[in-house]
Chain A
Amino acid sequence: MFKADTAAVAKSAPRRAMLRVAGLVALALFALLLPRVATALGNPALISLATRMVIYAIAAASLNLILGYGGMVSFGHAAYFGVGGYAVGILYYHFSAGEPFLGFIPGTNQFLVALAAAILTSALFALVLGALSLRTAGLQFIMITLAFAQMVFFLFVSLKYYGGDDGLIVRRRDVLFNLNMADDTTYYFVCLAVAVVYHVVFWRLVGSQFGLVLGGIRQNERRLAAIGISTYRYKLVAFVIAGAGAGLAGALMANFAKFVSPDMLNWSRSGELMIMVILGGGATLLGPAVGAVLLIGLETVLTGWTEHWQFYLGPILILIALFTRDGILSLFKDGSGGRD
C-alpha cells in the first residue's frame, strides 16, 4: 500500500506542477485583463471591487504568516492594517496643512515615502504589542491580541484632531512618479504590482530557513525549544513582519478609499481577515488571496440579493469550520498540503 502511494504521488507530481503553473498563468491573465473587460461590460465599479480584493489579499496574506504558517491565532491583526492606513492619512493631512507632524516630521504626499512610513509604523506597533502578547499562548493569546487591537482602536477614536470617530479624509491620492493615481485603472495596476512583489517576497520567506523554523514551531514548539531554538524570538520576528505587511495593505487602502477611520481597526475586521485566511486555506501561498476574493465577492453578490446576507454567510462559515480540514483550497488538494 505504501509503495503504491509513493508511486501515485510521484506520477502526479509533475502533473500538479503543470496545473499549478497553468493556474497561475490564468490568474495573471485574468487580473491583467480585468479593467478592459469591466469597462467593456459597462461596469467600471468592478475595477474598484477588484482593487479592494487585491488590497485585502495582501492583508490576509500577511496574517497567514503568523496564523497559517506560524500557528499563532492573532485576533488583532486589523490594528496594523489601520495603523498603516492612518500613517498615510496623517502624513497627507500634515502635507496639506503645511505644518509638520509632532513639530518636526514633514507631511508628504509621495506614495513611496508614505508606504515606507506605513510599513515602519505598523512594524513598530507589532513589535511592542507582539512582545507583550507572545508572553502568553493559547486562549489568552487570542484574547490579548483582540484586546490590544481594541486598545489601538480607541487610541484613534480619541484623536479628535485626526477626525476621531468621523475619520480622516485624504483629499487626493498620493503621488507616484507621474502616474495618474486618481484614475481607478491606474491605481488598480499599482496595487496589483505591489501585491505581486509582496507575494514573491513572502514565497521566498516561507521557503527559507526562517519559514522552516516557523512551521516547526507551529507543529511542536516544545520540541524546537528543546533543541535550543529561541522560539519567542522567531515568533516575534514573524509577528513584526506580518504587522508590516498589514500596514502596507492599510496604506494602499487609505489611498484607495481616500478616507481612513477607526473602523479599519474594528475587531470584526480582524475577524474578516482571519476568515479570509481560513477560507482560502492557511499555510498556502495563494490561499489568503483566494479567501479574500471569495469573501468580498460573496459579500458583494449577497448584498445585491438580500440585505440580510449575513444570515446566510454565518452558517456557511460554521459549516466550513466544522467540516473542512483546512479551508476551501484543501478541498482541491490531495491531502498532502502544508498541514499534517
Chain B
Amino acid sequence: MTLAIEQILNGVQFGVMLFLLAAGLTLVFGIMRIINLAHGSFYMIGAYGAAFAAQQTGSLVLAVLAGLAAAAAAGAVIEYVVIRRLYSRDYVQQVLATFGLILFINEGATMLFGREPLYVPMPAALSGVVQIIPGILYPAYRLVIIATGLLVAVALSLFVNKTRMGMLVRAGSTHREMVRALGVNVRLLYTFVFGLGALLAGLGGVLAGPVLAVQVGMGEQILILTFVVVVIGGVGSIRGAFAGAMIVGITDTLLRVLLPVVLRSVMTVSQADALGAGLSSMGIYLVMAAVLLIRPQGLVRVQS
C-alpha cells in the first residue's frame, strides 16, 4: 500500500514536470501556430544555468534566478532572431529551422560545458525524506517539485482567466484576427507568450537539475512526451495541458512499475524488465492514439 502511494506520488511528480514544459508549448502552438522543436532546449538551458551558478556561487537563490534568467533570455533572443521570421512560413520550414536550432544549442552547450554531465548539489535542507503521513516516506525535494508545479498551475490558470493580459492570450488563440483588428500589438503578445513558455520550461530544468544529471540532450528526451501531453490535452489549453500531463505522468509511472511484474511470470527477469520498460513506454502512445480516435482535438477543445 505504501509502495503504491509512493509510486503514485512519483507519477504526480513526473506529471508536474511535464506540465511545466507542456504549458508553454501548448500556448505557443495554440496562439502562434508555430511548431518549435527547440522547446526542450529551454529546459536544458535552465538546468545548465542553475547548475553553473550553483557551482560558482553555492547559493540556491542565485542558482534558481540564474537558470530562470538564462531560459527567459534565450527565449527572447531566439524569438527575435529566428521564430519571428517563421510566423508566415510553412510547417516544413519551421521544423527545419527549429531542428537546426536544436543542433546549434546542443553543440553550443557541449562546447561550453563539455560532454560529461553536471551534477548539481542538492540543497542540504531538502536532501532527506519527509514523513507526509505516518508510515509514508517521500524525498523532500520531490515534494518541493510537486508543490512548485501545482503552484505554477494555479498561478497560470488565474493569470489566463482573471487578468487582462491573460484574456488577450486566450483571445489570441481563438480569435486571432479579431485581436489584431482591435489594435492589440500582436507582435508583443507573441514575444511575451514565447518568453513565458521558455521561462516555464527553464523552471522545469532548474527543478530537475539536483535530481537528474544535467547533460546535453536532456531536453529532447522529455520533449516528445511533452508533445503527447499537448496532443492529449488539446492544443492551446492550459487546463488540457495539466490534465494531459497528469494522465501521462501517472500512467507512465504505474505502467513502468506494474508491467515488468506481470511479465516476469512468463519470461526471464532481464527480458521481462526490458519488455516491460519498452511496453510501458509504448503505452503512453497507445493512450494518445485512443484519445485521438475518440476526441481528435484532445480532451479540452479550444475553438479556433
Show the binding face of A for B, using Cβ within 8 Å. Answer: 67, 73, 75, 132, 135-136, 138-140, 142-144, 146-148, 150-151, 154-161, 164, 267-268, 271, 274-275, 278, 282, 308-311, 313-318, 320-322
Question: Known contacts being A147-B224, A147-B227, is A321 close to B97, with CB within 8 Å?
Answer: yes
CB neighbours (8 Å) of B105 from chain A are: 314
Q: Which residue of B lies closest to A154 (CB)?
A: B281
Q: Is the Cβ of B96 less than 8 Å from the Cβ of A275?
A: yes
The verdict on B9 contacting chain A, using a C-beta distance below 8 Å, is no
Q: Which of B93, B110, B279 has the most CB of A within 10 A?
A: B93
Bound-state Cα–Cα, A280 to B92, Å: 13
B274-290 near A? 1/0 per residue, CB < 8 Å: 11111101100110110
Q: Is the Cβ of B35 less than 8 Å from the Cβ of A132?
A: no
CB neighbours (8 Å) of B164 from chain A are: none
CB neighbours (8 Å) of A310 from chain B are: 103-104, 106-107
Question: Known contacts being A311-B103, A314-B101, is A132 close to B293, with CB within 8 Å?
Answer: yes
The verdict on B102 contacting chain A, using a C-beta distance below 8 Å, is yes
Q: Which residue of A lies closest to B268 (CB)?
A: A160
The verdict on B85 contacting chain A, using a C-beta distance below 8 Å, is yes
How many whole Å from A211's CB to the nearest CB in chain B?
A: 19
Q: Is the Cβ of B95 less than 8 Å from the Cβ of A164?
A: no
Contact of B231 among A143, A160, A314, A318 (CB under 8 A): A143
Q: Which of B108, B227, B230 has the most CB of A within 10 A?
A: B227
Q: Which residue of B lies closest to A156 (CB)?
A: B278
Contact of B101 among A147, A155, A309, A318 (CB under 8 A): A318
How many whole Å from A308's CB to the nearest CB in chain B?
A: 5
Q: Which residue of B lies closest to A275 (CB)?
A: B96
Q: Is the Cβ of A267 less than 8 Å from the Cβ of B97?
A: no
The verdict on B138 contacting chain A, using a C-beta distance below 8 Å, is no
Bound-state Cα–Cα, A322 to B92, Å: 11
Q: Is the Cβ of A150 less than 8 Å from the Cβ of B91?
A: no
Contact of A143 among B82, B99, B230, B275 (CB under 8 A): B230
Bound-state Cα–Cα, A112 to B295, Å: 43
Query: Main SS of chain A's interface residues?
Result: helix
The verdict on B121 contacting chain A, using a C-beta distance below 8 Å, is no
Contact of A278 among B92, B101, B102, B230 (CB under 8 A): B92
Q: Is the Cβ of A282 less than 8 Å from the Cβ of B92?
A: yes
Q: Is the Cβ of A314 less than 8 Å from the Cβ of B102?
A: yes
Bound-state Cα–Cα, A275 to B278, Å: 28
CB neighbours (8 Å) of B37 from chain A are: 271
How many whole Å from A63's CB to the nearest CB in chain B?
A: 11
12 contacts between A and B (CB under 8 A): A140-B235, A154-B279, A154-B285, A160-B275, A274-B92, A274-B96, A308-B110, A309-B107, A311-B103, A314-B104, A314-B105, A321-B97
Contact of B292 among A135, A150, A311 (CB under 8 A): A135
Q: Is the Cβ of B227 less than 8 Å from the Cβ of A317?
A: no
Bound-state Cα–Cα, A148 to B290, Å: 12
How many residues of B are in contact with the other chain, CB < 8 A?
51
Q: Is the Cβ of A154 less than 8 Å from the Cβ of B282?
A: yes
The verdict on B100 contacting chain A, using a C-beta distance below 8 Å, is yes
The verdict on B264 contacting chain A, using a C-beta distance below 8 Å, is no
CB neighbours (8 Å) of A147 from chain B are: 224, 227-228, 231, 285, 288
Show the binding face of B for A, using Cβ within 8 Å. Answer: 29, 33, 35, 37, 82, 85-86, 89, 91-97, 99-108, 110-111, 220, 224, 227-228, 230-231, 235, 270-271, 274-279, 281-282, 285-286, 288-289, 292-293, 296
Bound-state Cα–Cα, A155 to B286, Å: 12
CB neighbours (8 Å) of A75 from chain B are: 95
Question: Known contacts being A158-B278, A158-B281, is A150 close to B224, with CB within 8 Å?
Answer: yes
How many whole Å from A263's CB to the nearest CB in chain B?
A: 14
Contact of A321 among B96, B231, B271, B288 (CB under 8 A): B96
How many whole Å from A264's CB to the nearest CB in chain B?
A: 16
Q: Is the Cβ of B274 less than 8 Å from the Cβ of A318?
A: no
Q: Is the Cβ of A151 less than 8 Å from the Cβ of B282?
A: yes
Please list the 5 inter-chain residue pairs (A to B) with the smallest Cβ-Cβ separation, ordered nearest first. Answer: A158-B278, A314-B104, A317-B100, A314-B103, A151-B285
CB neighbours (8 Å) of A274 from chain B are: 92, 95-96, 99
Contact of A150 among B96, B106, B274, B285 (CB under 8 A): B285
Given A144-B292, A146-B227, 8 new contacts (CB under 8 A) = A73-B91, A132-B293, A140-B292, A274-B92, A278-B93, A310-B104, A321-B86, A322-B82
Bound-state Cα–Cα, A286 to B33, Å: 31
Q: Is the Cβ of B104 less than 8 Å from the Cβ of A315?
A: yes
Q: Which residue of B lies closest to A138 (CB)?
A: B91
Contact of A322 among B85, B111, B296 (CB under 8 A): B85
Q: Which residue of B lies closest to A140 (CB)?
A: B231
Bound-state Cα–Cα, A218 to B140, Å: 53
How many whole Å from B286's CB to the nearest CB in chain A?
A: 7
CB neighbours (8 Å) of A309 from chain B are: 107
Bound-state Cα–Cα, A275 to B99, Å: 9
Bound-state Cα–Cα, A315 to B106, Å: 12
Bound-state Cα–Cα, A139 to B296, Å: 12
Bound-state Cα–Cα, A148 to B274, Å: 19
CB neighbours (8 Å) of B281 from chain A are: 151, 154, 157-158
CB neighbours (8 Å) of B270 from chain A are: 160
How many whole Å from A67's CB to the nearest CB in chain B?
A: 7
CB neighbours (8 Å) of B276 from chain A are: 158
Bound-state Cα–Cα, A316 to B274, Å: 39
Q: Is the Cβ of A155 less than 8 Å from the Cβ of B278?
A: yes
Q: Which residue of B lies closest to A128 (CB)?
A: B289
Bound-state Cα–Cα, A49 to B156, Å: 52
How many whole Å from B233's CB to the nearest CB in chain A?
A: 12
Q: Is the Cβ of B282 less than 8 Å from the Cβ of A155?
A: yes
Bound-state Cα–Cα, A316 to B192, Å: 27
Question: Known contacts being A73-B92, A147-B228, A161-B271, is A313 close to B282, with CB within 8 Å?
Answer: no
Bound-state Cα–Cα, A42 to B57, Å: 55
CB neighbours (8 Å) of B288 from chain A are: 144, 147
